[in-house]
C-alpha cells in the first residue's frame, strides 16, 4: 500500500543523501517527518538549546552561524543542517535563521541516528569530520590502483576473423585480404583431436612470407601446415601488462583473447602501444626522440591525452601533478639538448631552474613557465652573455610553442635579472630573507620553490639548503611571508549557483587557483620554511611539518585531505575545459559542481580558513 506522505517521499527521492537509500527505509523516513514553517528573518535554532531533529530544507533559504555570530553557511532547497549538534550531544551548535520564508522537514533524532547507523553512504555524506572520510579516500586509492591496471578486455575491438582447419593457405590468404587483417585464427573443423570451433592455431602475414613463399611451397597446402599451432592466449580479464609480458617473452605480435575458453578477439602489439602512448612514461620517452621544436609541439596532444587518462582513472593530485611536472621537465631538458646542439656547448657551466608549480611537482595542463638560469661564477658578460641569452630564448620560445605560456611576471631565464652567476643568486636569497619588501616577498614565494632540471643541479640544492637553514631564524621574514599569504582567502562556500564570500556577498565563479590551491601552497611553504623542510612538494612539506609537531594534533592530516579536495577540483576543471576545447582558465562555476563536491569543497575551504587564522597567530603576522 502506498504511504500517505507521498509528497514528502517524492521530495526525498529527488535529493541526496536520501534518494540513494533503499525504498523501504526511505518510506520510514518520509513517515517520520514533521514540518516547520519559518517566516523570513525568524529564528529556527538557538545556540545550545536541546535539539531533536535533523533539519532538511523543503523550500526557502536558511543561514547558519557560528557562536560568535559569523555567517557559517547559507542553504537552499535540499540543503540540511543541525547534523553536528545531533552527533555531538543533542544541542544546537550552529544557530540558524530563515533567510526567506522557509519550510523545514524535521527528521526526528532517532530516525537520523538510525540512518547514520544503517547507511554508510548517508553517514559519509552527512558527517563533517575528515576522519571518517579518510577511510573512504583509502578505498579510492585502492580503486585507482585497480584502474591503472586495466584489463585486456579494454583493448578488444572487432570480432576476430577465423577459418576452419580444413582450409588451404590460399583460402586463408584470400579471407585475410578481404577482411583486411594481418592475423587469422584457425579453428578446429572435423578434427578428431578437438571439438569443432576451438582454437587450433594462428597465422599471420609474416608466417605466409617466412613459411610459404620463402621456402617455395604451394599455396594449396592446408593452412594447418604453416600456422603456429596451439598459440599462447590470454583471458580477457587479465591485465594489459600481463599481455605485454607474454608478447615480449615469446616475441609475439598477436595474441588471441579468450572469454570462457572461446576466442573473442586478437590484440596486436600496436594496440598496446596505442594504449601505452597515453602513459606519462611513454610521453616522456617520446619527448626525447623529437628532433625539432615543431616535432616537440606534435607531442602536446599526447600530453593532454595522458592528463585526461589519469583524471579518468581517478589518480590522486600528487600522481597527476608529478607526472605533468616530469613531462614539463622533459620538454625543458630536450629543448636544452637541442639548444646546445644548435649553439654549441656552453662556454661555462650552468644550471637551468624550474620554479613554482613545476618545482613543487604540482604542475597541471594550463600553466605558465617560471624558470631561471644559474651561471658559473666565472661567467663574464662580455664573453658569455650572448650565448646564454640565445640559450634562454631558445628554451623559453620552445616552451611557449609547446603550450607553456610566457610568464606575465617575467620570471624567465630570458630576463637578465634571473640569468646570474651563483654568487649573485646567493646574495639575492640573503637579501630577500634579511630585508623583506613587498617585491622581495613575492620573489621569495616564487624562487623558494626551486628545482634544478639541467646542468649543475647541485647549485639549486645549495640555494635551497641556504633557504632552509636561514629562513627559520628570520621571524620578521616569516611574519611578512605569512602576512602576504593571508591576502588570498578562500570563499565560505556556495549558495544556489553562487560562490558565497565570508561577508555573505555572492559571486558567479570561483578562481580555484587564486582562492584555493595558491593560498594553500603559500601557507604550507611558510610552515615548511619555519621547520627547515627541504622538500618542494606541498604534501611532502606537510609531512615534514606534521613530523616537526608545530601544528595542533590532527590539523596536518585535515590540511592534507583538504588540499587534495581543492587540488582535484582544479584538476577536474582543467580536464573538463580540455575535453570541451575551451579557452583555459581556473574559473570554476558553482553549477558545474555536484552537491557532494560543493559540500566537500566548503569543508576544505573551512580547513584552509582556520589554518590561515592559526598561521596569523603563529607568526604574529
Q: Is 380 in the site for other proteins (CB under 8 A)?
A: no
The answer to whether residue 39 forms part of the interface with other proteins (CB under 8 A) is yes
Establish if 76 lies at the interface with other proteins (CB under 8 A). Answer: no
State the minimum distance, in angstroms, from the CB of residue 36 to other proteins.
6
What is the C-alpha to C-alpha distance for residues 523 and 558, in angstroms, rounded to an integer?
14
Least Å distance, CB 42 to other proteins, is 8
Taking every pair of C-alpha atoms in the chain, what is the biggest distance, in angstroms?
97
Q: Which is nearer to other proteins, 37 or 288 (CB)?
A: 37
Please state at what angle helix 438-447 crosses helix 475-485, rounded to 10 degrees. Answer: 90
Evaluate whether 542 touches 560 at the Cβ level (below 8 Å).
yes
Select from 31, 221, 294, 383 the one that contacts other proteins (CB under 8 A): 31
- Between 6 and 589, whose beta carbon lies closer to other proteins? 6
* Residue 209 burial (10 A CB sphere; 0-12, 13-18, 19+): exposed
As a whole number of angstroms, the distance between CA 226 and CA 212 comes to: 7
Interface with other proteins, residue 120, by CB under 8 A: no
The answer to whether 150 and 239 have CB atoms below 8 angstroms apart is: yes
Contact between 34 and other proteins per CB under 8 A: yes
Residues 586, 573: Cα–Cα separation, whole Å: 7
Stretch that binds other proteins, among 4-12, 131-139, 416-424, 428-436 (CB under 8 A): 4-12
Q: What is the DSSP string of 41-89?
A: T-EEE-TTSB--EEEEEEESEEEEE-TTS-EEEEEETT-EE-HHHHHTT
> Does residue 106 bind other proteins (CB under 8 A)?
yes
25 binds other proteins (CB under 8 A): no
Beta bridge partners of 255: 267
User: Looking at beta carbons only, is 4 or 70 nearer to other proteins?
Assistant: 4
* Distance set, CA 86 to CA 51, 91, 114 (Å): 7, 7, 12
* Smallest distance, other proteins to C-beta of residue 113, A: 16
Residue 532 Cβ, how far from other proteins at the closest point, in Å? Answer: 59
Binding segment for other proteins (CB under 8 A), chosen from 1-9, 198-206, 353-361, 378-386, is 1-9
Stretch that binds other proteins, among 27-35, 80-88, 246-254, 523-531 (CB under 8 A): 27-35
Is there binding between residue 60 and other proteins (CB under 8 A)? yes
Nearest approach in angstroms of CB 522 to other proteins is 43
Count of Cβ atoms closer than 10 Å to residue 287 Cβ: 24
Is residue 35 involved in binding other proteins (CB under 8 A)? yes
Cβ neighbour number for residue 167 with a 10 Å cutoff = 20
Instruction: Tell me: does residue 100 bind other proteins (CB under 8 A).
Output: yes
As measured in angstroms, the least distance from the Cβ of 8 to other proteins is 7
Residue 101 is given by DSSP the state: S
Closer Cβ to other proteins, 7 or 583, answer by number: 7
Residues binding other proteins: number (CB under 8 A):
23
Q: Determine, following the binding rule CB under 8 A, whether residue 150 of this chain makes contact with other proteins.
A: no
E strands within 304-437? 350-355, 371-375, 419-421
**How crowded is the C-beta side of 231, counted as CA atoms within 13 Å?**
30
CB of 39 to other proteins, least distance (A): 4
Residues that bind other proteins (CB under 8 A): 4-8, 10, 31-37, 39, 42, 58-60, 100-101, 103, 106, 108
Amino acid at each position: 500500500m502506498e504511504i500517505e506522505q507521498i509528497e514528502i517521499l517524492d521530495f526525498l527521492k529527488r535529493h541526496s543523501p536520501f534518494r540513494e537509500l533503499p525504498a523501504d527505509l526511505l518510506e520510514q523516513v518520509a513517515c517520520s517527518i514533521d514540518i516547520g514553517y519559518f517566516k523570513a528573518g525568524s529564528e529556527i535554532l538557538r545556540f545550545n538549546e536541546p535539539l531533536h531533529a535533523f533539519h532538511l530544507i523543503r523550500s526557502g533559504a536558511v543561514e547558519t552561524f557560528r557562536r560568535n555570530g559569523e555567517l557559517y553557511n547559507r542553504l537552499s532547497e535540499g540543503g540540511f543542517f543541525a547534523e553536528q549538534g545531533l552527533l555531538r550531544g543533542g544541542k544546537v551548535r550552529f544557530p540558524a535563521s530563515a533567510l526567506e520564508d522557509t519550510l523545514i522537514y524535521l527528521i526526528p533524532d532517532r530516525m537520523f541516528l538510525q540512518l547514520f547507523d544503517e547507511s554508510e553512504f548517508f553517514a559519509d555524506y552527512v558527517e563533517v569530520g575528515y576522519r571518517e572520510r579518510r577511510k573512504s579516500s583509502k578505498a579510492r586509492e585502492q580503486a585507482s590502483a585497480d584502474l591503472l591496471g586495466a584489463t585486456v578486455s579494454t583493448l578488444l575491438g572487432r570480432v576476430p576473423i577465423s577459418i576452419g582447419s580444413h582450409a588451404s593457405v590460399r583460402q586463408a590468404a584470400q579471407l585475410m585480404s578481404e577482411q583486411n587483417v594481418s592475423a587469422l585464427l584457425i579453428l578446429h573443423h572435423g578434427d578428431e583431436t578437438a571439438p569443432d570451433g576451438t582454437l587450433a592455431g594462428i597465422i599471420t602475414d609474416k608466417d605466409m612470407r617466412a613459411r610459404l613463399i620463402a621456402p617455395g611451397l604451394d599455396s594449396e597446402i592446408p593452412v594447418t601446415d604453416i600456422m603456429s599451432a596451439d598459440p599462447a592466449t590470454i583471458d580477457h580479464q587479465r591485465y594489459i601488462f600481463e599481455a605485454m609480458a607474454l608478447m615480449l617473452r615469446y616475441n609475439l605480435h598477436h595474441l588471441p583473447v579468450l572469454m570462457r575458453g572461446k576466442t573473442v578477439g586478437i590484440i596486436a602489439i600496436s594496440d598496446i602501444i596505442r594504449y601505452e602512448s597515453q602513459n606519462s612514461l611513454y610521453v616522456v620517452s617520446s619527448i626525447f626522440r623529437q628532433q625539432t621544436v615543431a616535432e616537440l609541439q606534435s607531442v602536446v596532444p599526447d600530453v593532454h591525452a595522458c592528463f585526461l587518462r589519469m583524471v579518468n582513472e581517478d589518480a590522486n593530485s600528487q600522481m597527476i601533478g608529478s607526472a605533468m611536472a616530469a613531462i614539463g621537465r622533459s620538454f625543458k631538458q630536450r629543448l636544452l639538448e637541442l639548444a646546445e646542439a644548435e649553439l654549441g656547448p656552453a662556454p661555462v657551466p650552468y644550471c637551468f631552474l624550474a620554479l613554482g608549480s613545476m618545482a613543487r611537482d604540482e604542475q597541471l595542463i594550463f600553466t605558465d613557465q617560471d624558470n631561471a638560469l644559474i651561471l658559473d661564477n666565472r661567467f663574464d658578460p662580455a664573453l658569455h652573455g650572448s650565448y646564454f641569452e640565445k640559450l634562454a630564448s631558445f628554451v623559453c620560445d620552445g616552451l611557449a610553442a609547446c603550450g607553456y605560456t610566457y610568464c606575465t611576471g617575467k620570471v624567465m631565464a630570458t630576463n637578465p635579472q634571473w640569468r646570474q652567476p651563483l654568487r649573485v643568486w646567493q646574495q639575492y636569497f640573503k637579501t630577500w630573507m634579511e630585508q623583506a619588501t613587498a617585491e622581495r616577498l613575492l620573489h621569495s614565494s616564487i624562487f623558494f620553490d626551486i628545482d634544478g632540471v639541467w646542468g649543475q643541479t647541485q647549485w639549486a640544492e645549495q640555494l635551497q639548503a641556504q633557504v632552509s637553514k636561514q629562513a627559520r631564524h628570520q621571524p620578521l621574514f616569516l611574519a611578512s611571508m605569512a602576512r602576504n599569504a593571508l591576502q588570498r582567502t578562500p570563499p565560505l562556500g556556495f549558495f544556489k549557483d553562487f560562490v558565497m564570500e565570508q561577508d555573505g556577498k555572492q559571486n558567479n565563479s570561483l578562481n580555484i587557483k587564486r582562492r584555493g590551491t595558491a593560498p594553500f601552497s603559500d601557507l604550507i611553504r611558510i610552515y615548511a620554511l619555519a621547520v627547515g623542510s627541504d622538500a618542494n612538494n606541498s604534501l611532502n612539506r606537510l609531512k615534514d611539518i606534521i613530523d616537526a609537531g608545530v601544528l595542533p594534533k590532527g590539523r596536518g592530516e585535515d590540511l592534507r585531505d583538504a588540499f587534495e579536495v581543492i587540488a582535484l577540483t582544479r584538476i577536474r576543471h582543467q580536464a573538463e575545459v580540455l575535453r570541451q576545447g575551451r579557452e583555459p582558465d581556473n574559473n570554476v562555476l558553482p553549477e558545474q559542481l555536484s552537491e557532494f563536491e560543493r559540500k566537500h569543497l566548503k569543508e576544505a575551504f573551512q580547513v584552509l580558513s582556520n589554518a590561515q587564522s592559526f598561521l596569523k597567530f603563529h607568526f604574529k603576522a
